[in-house]
Amino acid sequence: MGWLCSHPLSPVSCLILVWVTVVGSMRVLHEPTCFSDYISVSTCEWQLDGPLNCSAELHLSSWLEVPVNRTCIPENSAGATCVCTMPMDDLVKADTYQLVLWAGRQRVWHGLFKPSDHVKPRAPENLTVHTSDHDTKLLTWSNPYPPGSTLYKELTYLVNISNENDPAEFIIYNVTYMEPILRLAASTLKSGVSYKVRVRAWTESYNGTWSDWSPSAQWHNCEYGGLEQLESPHPAFTLWPETPPGSSYPGVRLTACN
Ligand SMILES: *[C@@H]1O[C@H](CO)[C@@H](O)[C@H](O)[C@H]1NC(C)=O
Ligand SMILES: *[C@@H]1O[C@H](CO)[C@@H](O)[C@H](O)[C@H]1NC(C)=O
Ligand SMILES: *[C@@H]1O[C@H](CO)[C@@H](O)[C@H](O)[C@H]1NC(C)=O
Ligand SMILES: *[C@@H]1O[C@H](CO)[C@@H](O)[C@H](O)[C@H]1NC(C)=O
Ligand SMILES: *[C@@H]1O[C@H](CO)[C@@H](O)[C@H](O)[C@H]1NC(C)=O
Ligand SMILES: *[C@@H]1O[C@H](CO)[C@@H](O)[C@H](O)[C@H]1NC(C)=O
């Protein structure tokens, strides 16, 4: 996505080209797509049509203007996909990298990558559900970027609160202010229902995509008597009268919901 094609293909011919390259007996089905977290790493991945040892068969070289080689050895990821993680420092908005994918000595792909046009932020961390009083819940999480870094003040968030027993039932909140906090009236949610919350980040000033979701936090919503937090991966207790079949918190101590 968002790839510019190298000479002599125009971007348009690139879009309509079904990109298939033979690597030995294996075919690389789609050209690599790359994203940058705009602080320390860029990640490229591409799909193959069958199993292949990515590290043994392929490597990706990258350089900026001066052809000084940096080589990334890809790893296999879920399905027939290769992933290359490239450390990047001193990011400059105008920088455009040249990338070449090699199968041994055979050059199978050449493309350009401008990190500032393909930003996928780091996922927010430490999502926690606090009960501030009987009627209000406070969701907090941490900005995944250190103060002073380029994206620290650039993130906006999307909070997804879903019914654990019916994932089709969910509420979305846009958090467009800087503080990683969301105040929630308990009355906006159903009593006696278990909820799961996740948050992801996006940056409007750079052309990019949503981050991955943060790890989720869960709680059982009680209209009265306070809301007890269940935070994965260390759930302390739940308020179920009994563990429902297929409960996602095995071995958890149970207390009653008021
Ligand atoms: C912005 O991102 C979208 C989706 O990732 C991509 O299609 C588009 O080409 C990008 N624009 C630029 C200027 O890179
Ligand atoms: C893939 O190749 C690398 C390097 O040759 C080797 O170390 C690794 O064990 C291989 N992995 C598998 C799953 O065969
Ligand atoms: C990168 O290194 C390889 C092997 O050392 C070499 O064949 C290739 O020409 C180099 N590419 C560039 C752009 O310097
Ligand atoms: C998340 O919490 C852990 C443990 O409390 C802490 O070490 C880490 O720095 C926090 N992460 C962020 C981004 O604040
Ligand atoms: C919110 O989360 C639910 C449950 O995981 C999911 O089904 C739904 O697609 C999500 N909605 C959005 C907009 O992310
Ligand atoms: C959140 O913001 C996006 C654009 O910034 C908008 O498209 C979407 O409708 C908003 N969603 C809610 C629930 O406000």
CATH number reported for the structural domain that contains residue 210 in this entry: 2.60.40.10
Neighbours of 138 (CB within 10 A): 14
pLDDT at 24: 59
Q: Answer whether residue 3 is part of any domain.
A: no
21 and 50 housed in the same domain: yes
Instruction: Give the span between the Cα atoms of 138 and 131, in whole angstroms.
Output: 6
pLDDT at 23: 58
Count the alpha carbons within 13 Å of 238 in the hemisphere toward its beta carbon. 24
pLDDT at 234: 36
- Ligand 5 neighbours by CB, cut-off 6 Å: 160, 162, 167, 170, 172
41 and 89 housed in the same domain: yes
81 and 158 housed in the same domain: no
Does residue 2's CB lie within 6 angstroms of at least one atom of ligand 1? yes
Nearest Cα to Cα of residue 161 among 171, 150, 151: 171
Q: Answer whether residue 39 is part of any domain.
A: yes
Q: Answer whether residue 65 is part of any domain.
A: yes
204 and 132 housed in the same domain: yes
pLDDT at 172: 96
147 and 193 housed in the same domain: yes
95 and 130 housed in the same domain: no
21-39 in b/e form (b: 16+ CB < 10 A) is: bebeebbbbebbbbbbbbb
Single residue among 65, 94, 117 that ends a domain in this structure: 117
- Ligand 2 neighbours by CB, cut-off 6 Å: 53, 55-56
140 and 213 housed in the same domain: yes
Single residue among 99, 117, 135 that ends a domain in this structure: 117
CA of 163 to the centre of ligand 5 (A): 10
Paired residues of 228 in beta bridges: 220
Ligand 2: atom nearest CA of 76 is: 13
Sign (positive or negative) of CA dihedral 174, 179, 181, 182: negative
41 and 108 housed in the same domain: yes
Q: Answer whether residue 90 is part of any domain.
A: yes
Instruction: Give the span between the Cα atoms of 140 and 162, in whole angstroms.
Output: 17
CA of 148 to the centre of ligand 4 (A): 17
pLDDT at 231: 41
Report the predicted TM-score, pTM, of the whole model to 2 decimal places.
Answer: 0.76
- Ligand 6 neighbours by CB, cut-off 6 Å: 172, 174
Tokens 């906090």 locate to 181
Q: Which range marks the domain in which residue 254 is found?
A: 225-258
pLDDT at 69: 76
154 and 112 housed in the same domain: no
pLDDT at 227: 40
Q: Report residues of the chain scoring pLDDT below 70.
A: 1-28, 67-68, 223-258
Using CA atoms, how far residue 115 sits from 7, 33, 91, 92, in Å, is 20, 11, 8, 9
Q: Answer whether residue 25 is part of any domain.
A: yes
Single residue among 117, 142, 157 that ends a domain in this structure: 117
Instruction: Give the span between the Cα atoms of 218 and 206, in whole angstroms.
Output: 32
Neighbours of 69 (CB within 10 A): 8
3-state DSSP helix/strand/coil percent for the chain, to nearest 5?
A: 5, 50, 45
Neighbours of 221 (CB within 10 A): 20
Q: Answer whether residue 167 is part of any domain.
A: yes
- pLDDT tens per residue, range 56-94: 999 999 998 776 679 999 999 987 899 999 998 778 899
Count the alpha carbons within 13 Å of 59 in the hemisphere toward its beta carbon. 10
- pLDDT tens per residue, range 5-31: 344 433 333 333 345 556 555 666 778
Q: Answer whether residue 1 is part of any domain.
A: no
CA angle, 15 as apex, 9 and 18 as ends, to 5°?
Answer: 90
129 and 198 housed in the same domain: yes
- Domain count of the chain? 3
